[in-house]
């Protein structure tokens, strides 16, 4: 099978298999480097890191990756400090019973430092010059994308609808990740509220492929070679895989999280804002269920995420796992590999065998 296409040429990779970025501390240098060094593209989610941490991260990735890797940011408007103390008291009241159950204090409103602002993070990306800057939740300013081009940084935007894909192409990004609602983690919509456009990959991928000329990478629900082959048949030039790589020993997810991904619990996922302030897919939990109906008391990102972090950590430490959701895509029950090398090799072999079988039938 010939894996070469516009995407592999643009990204200078051998196989159009991308390990999706994991923000919030779930990425690891080892995971990204393993995938890059096997000929795919490893990614690192950096939206929670400061300017200086991103510079250090890039040095580490550069020394471990013998090929293309990406650093990923969330586009933010940095207006979180507008969330009033009065509103925060309401958030505290909703979640207090869960903190009480774990016998830990309800945290005060988190203070956010300027060094973690999107503006400072961008400065770090432009300074660090990773091979690829990937992003979600919007389109960076024209000046930023021009500066990336000037510095030889490829840009990768993420769309949840055709409209968003067209906005990204108009901004002249190098490729687009089209992410279906099966995906684990956040629904990264930016042209509309995510709840208004929960489009599955089977519909989204060919529609985006028809609407834009630049290479499209399919994401969401791909966990084996059949998924990659399907994405390619639908016209995507590559596949971005999250949950299956998250389950590998090289990722920075907790052991409890990895166990959940291989368990019965992964059969059912829900979309919830309770843990970060933004809609995200994870396993079902008491907190998700009890706050699903009324999202109005949830603080905006990133306040909600920082507020809930002690609760998540305490639930893990006290083994009260039923309280919290673990980020997880709808195809988690398909996962079978426990190391990134094994997963990557299996994905290649399975994809090739799907196309070989199709050739035999023809
Ligand atoms: C724990 C977790 C964190 C994620 N964080 C990010 C992120 O910060 N930026 C991003 O572009 N995508 C993020 N994603 C999405 C993945 O990179 C990938 O696109 C998605 O998981 C693909 O769908 P799948 O889980 O069905 O394979 C995250 C996914 C998970 C499961």
Q: What is the pLDDT of residues 216-229, one digit of tens each?
A: 999 999 999 999 99
Q: Cα(247) to centroid of ligand 1, in Å?
A: 12
Q: Is the pLDDT of residue 80 over 80?
A: no
Strands (E), the chain: 17-19, 42-45, 69-74, 132-136, 154-159, 175-179, 185-186, 216-219, 238-241, 269-272, 280-283
Query: Minimal CA–CA distance to 61: which of 19, 32, 101?
Result: 32
d(CA 186, CA 194): 9
- Residue 209's pLDDT is what? 98
Looking at every residue in the chain, the average pLDDT score rounds to 95
Question: Is ligand 1 within 6 A of the CB of residue 285?
Answer: no
- Among the atoms of ligand 1, which is closest to the Cα of residue 136? 11
Question: Among 105-119, 182-196, 208-222, 303-317, which is the least confidently predicted range?
Answer: 105-119
Question: Is ligand 1 within 6 A of the CB of residue 277?
Answer: no
Q: What is the mean pLDDT of residues 120-148?
A: 97
Model-level pTM greater than 0.95?
yes
- Residue 48's pLDDT is what? 92
Question: Is ligand 1 within 6 A of the CB of residue 70?
Answer: no
Question: Is ligand 1 within 6 A of the CB of residue 47?
Answer: yes
Tokens encoding 206 = 């060919």
Model confidence over 230-254: pLDDT tens digits?
Answer: 999 999 999 999 999 999 999 999 9
Q: Is the pLDDT of residue 78 over 70?
A: no
> Please, are residues 197 and 214 in contact by the beta-carbon 8 Å criterion?
no
Between 358 and 265, the more confident residue is 265
Buried b (16+ CB within 10 A) or exposed e, 299-317: bbbbbbbbbbbebbebbbe
Q: Is the pLDDT of residue 79 over 80?
A: no
Which residues have CB under 8 Å from 169's CB, separation 6+? 176, 211, 212, 213, 214
Tokens encoding 128 = 């660090």
Model confidence over 139-156: pLDDT tens digits?
Answer: 999 999 999 999 999 999
CATH code reported for the domain at 6-78+117-251+335-361:
3.20.20.70
- Residue 112's pLDDT is what? 79
Query: Minimal CA–CA distance to 115: which of 194, 43, 53?
Result: 53
């Amino acid at each position: 099978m010939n894996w070469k296409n516009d995407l592999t040429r643009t990204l200078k990779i051998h196989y159009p298999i991308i390990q999706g970025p994991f923000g919030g501390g779930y990425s690891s240098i080892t995971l990204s480097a393993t995938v890059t060094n096997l000929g795919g593209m490893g990614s690192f989610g950096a939206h929670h890191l400061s300017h200086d941490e991103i510079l250090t991260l890039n040095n580490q990735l550069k020394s471990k990756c013998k090929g293309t890797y990406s650093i990923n940011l969330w586009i933010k408007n940095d207006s979180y400090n507008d969330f009033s103390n009065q509103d925060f008291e309401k958030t505290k009241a909703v979640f207090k019973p869960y903190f009480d159950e774990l016998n830990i204090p309800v945290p005060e409103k988190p203070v956010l430092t300027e060094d973690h602002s999107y503006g400072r993070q961008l400065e770090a990306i432009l300074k660090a010059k990773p091979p690829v800057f990937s992003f979600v939740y919007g389109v960076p300013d024209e000046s930023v994308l021009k500066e990336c081009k000037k510095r030889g940084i490829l840009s990768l935007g993420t769309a949840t609808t055709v409209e968003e894909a067209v906005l990204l192409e108009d901004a002249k990004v190098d490729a687009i990740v089209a992410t279906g609602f099966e995906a684990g983690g956040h629904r990264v919509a930016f042209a509309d509220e995510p709840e208004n456009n929960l489009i599955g990959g089977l519909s989204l991928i060919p529609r985006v492929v028809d609407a834009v000329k630049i290479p499209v990478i399919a994401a969401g629900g791909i966990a084996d070679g059949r998924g990659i082959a399907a994405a390619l048949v639908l016209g995507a030039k590559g596949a971005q895989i999250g949950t299956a790589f998250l389950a590998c020993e090289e990722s920075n997810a907790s052991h409890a999280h990895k166990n959940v991904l291989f368990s019965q619990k992964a059969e059912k996922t829900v979309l919830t804002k309770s843990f970060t302030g933004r809609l995200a897919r994870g396993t079902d939990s008491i907190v998700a269920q009890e706050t699903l109906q009324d999202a109005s008391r949830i603080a905006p990102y990133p306040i909600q995420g920082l507020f809930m972090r002690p609760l998540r950590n305490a639930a893990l430490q006290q083994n009260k796992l039923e309280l919290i959701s673990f980020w997880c895509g709808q195809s988690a029950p398909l996962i079978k590999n426990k190391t990134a090398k094994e997963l990557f090799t299996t994905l290649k072999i399975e994809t090739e065998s799907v196309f070989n079988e199709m050739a035999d039938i023809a």
